[in-house]
Amino acid sequence: MDKNSANADRNISITRIAMIAALYAALTMLTLTFLQGFAWGPVQFRVSEALCILALFTPAAIPGLTLGCILANLLGILLVGSGPLGLLDVFFGSMATLLGSLWMWHFKDRKPLALLGPVVTNALIVSAYLPLMLAALGFYTIPFTTIDLAGTWPAMYIFGFICIATGEAIVVYGMGWPLAKMLESSGFADKLR
């Protein structure tokens, strides 16, 4: 491979990373704007998480999704007003995205298992710090009930784990998997590879 070809490949990778990051951040901001608490609370449906399936097709999705999550979570601090505790989401939420996309790339040949990566990493990691953020905002009553979990971290973690895993599974399997099939059938997945 000559030097010009190597530079062109590097530029394509950087462009892919930037495009994936921008798309993830923009979709997260739309979700935060229109779904509000359902984008950052204990019950989450971040539409942008459907883009995790891009890690099935290109390793550029791993840094792209991670950078997009960092950017979205930084912007989320401004939008939600979570203050310094929002930095937990920037660091640990982005780590969950990084680990989930690494899992997906590793198991890309076994799609049902690959898609489980973001579900598991987000449920395990986000549920651990989310109670701190939500309790500080006074937001930890189980939806549709009057049961307040504030002050009981184990109960908040278990509740968060179940809710985040469920929401993530709905988005990744319900939206991401059909998106992956569409990208494959259109031939676009081959262009990403």
Q: What pLDDT is recorded for position 60? A: 95
Q: What pLDDT is recorded for position 188? A: 83
Q: Compute the average pLDDT of residues 57-74.
A: 95
* More confident position, 87 or 6: 87
Confidence of residue 33 (pLDDT cuts 50, 70, 90): confident
CA distance 61 to 48: 13
CA distance 2 to 91: 38
96 within 8 A of 122, measured Cβ to Cβ: yes
Q: Compute the average pLDDT of residues 22-40.
A: 83
Percent of the chain scored above 90 by pLDDT? 54
Confidence of residue 39 (pLDDT cuts 50, 70, 90): low
Q: Is the confidence at residue 82, as pLDDT, over 80? A: no
Q: Is the confidence at residue 38, as pLDDT, over 80? A: no
CA distance 192 to 189: 5
Q: What pLDDT is recorded for position 96? A: 97
Predicted structure pTM score: 0.87
* More confident position, 119 or 136: 119
Give the model confidence (pLDDT) of 122-178 as tens digits.
999 999 988 777 766 666 666 666 777 667 778 888 888 998 999 999 999 999 999
Q: Compute the average pLDDT of residues 40-48.
A: 79
Burial class (CB in 10 A: 0-12, 13-18, 19+), 1: exposed
Residue 169 φ then ψ, to 5°: -65, -40
Alpha-carbon separation of residue 59 from 16, 38, 84, 106, 193 (angstroms): 10, 29, 32, 10, 8
Share the mean pLDDT of the chain: 87
Q: What pLDDT is recorded for position 3? A: 74
